[in-house]
């Protein structure tokens, strides 16, 4: 074979390797879920959120400080009722700007109760729209519950 064919073959193999590695690492970038609820209609900056998860299950989510602080830890408390929740993860993403991976595991603290802390990076542009995806793992499914809130700017310092 000529040198050009070898270079092309190596290039194709490298592209295939990148695709396989990307596929295998994709769960690190986005938590895998079986079912996702619509965006919750409550503002964590204003109050704790109570949601119906369907099938008789309910969720209560509360952040320890309001407004949600930046660059300092804040407490998070999640109560799940009517569902055998085994674990819970918080995944914060910037809606309009990539803010890196901000994922936090909550620790079991009783029947359906999960507690922990989280910390968000500061946005250099000031105001930031965040999406928080709470992922609840049960024996039957991985359920994603999305919330949105704003940090920074007037009233959200």
Residue 154 is predicted with a pLDDT of 63
Q: How many angstroms separate the CA atoms of 84 and 123, rounded?
A: 37
Residue-wise pLDDT tens digits, 72-120: 999 999 999 999 999 999 999 999 888 888 999 999 999 999 999 999 9
Residue 32 is predicted with a pLDDT of 72
Yes or no: say if 127 and 150 are a contact pair by the CB < 8 Å rule.
yes
Compare 133 and 31 and report the one with higher pLDDT: 133
The CA angle 144-147-151, to the nearest 5 degrees, is 140
Other CB atoms closer than 10 Å to residue 130's CB: what's the count? Answer: 22
For residue 6, is pLDDT > 80? Answer: yes
pTM comes to 0.76
Q: How many angstroms separate the CA atoms of 46 and 2, rounded?
A: 67
Yes or no: say if 45 and 66 are a contact pair by the CB < 8 Å rule.
yes
């Amino acid at each position: 074979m000529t040198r050009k064919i070898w270079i092309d073959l190596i290039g194709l193999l490298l592209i295939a390797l990148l695709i396989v590695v990307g596929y295998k690492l994709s769960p690190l970038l986005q938590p895998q879920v079986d079912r996702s609820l619509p965006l919750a209609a409550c503002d964590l900056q204003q109050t704790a959120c109570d949601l119906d998860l369907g099938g008789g299950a309910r969720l209560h989510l509360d952040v320890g400080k309001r407004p949600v602080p930046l660059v300092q830890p804040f407490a998070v408390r999640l109560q799940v009722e009517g569902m055998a929740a085994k674990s819970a993860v918080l995944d914060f993403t910037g809606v309009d700007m990539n803010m890196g991976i901000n994922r936090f595991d909550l620790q079991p603290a009783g029947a359906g109760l999960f507690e922990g802390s989280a910390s968000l990076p500061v946005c250099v542009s000031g105001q930031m729209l965040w999406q928080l995806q709470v992922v609840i793992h049960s024996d039957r499914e991985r359920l994603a519950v999305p919330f949105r809130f704003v940090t920074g700017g007037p009233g959200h310092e």
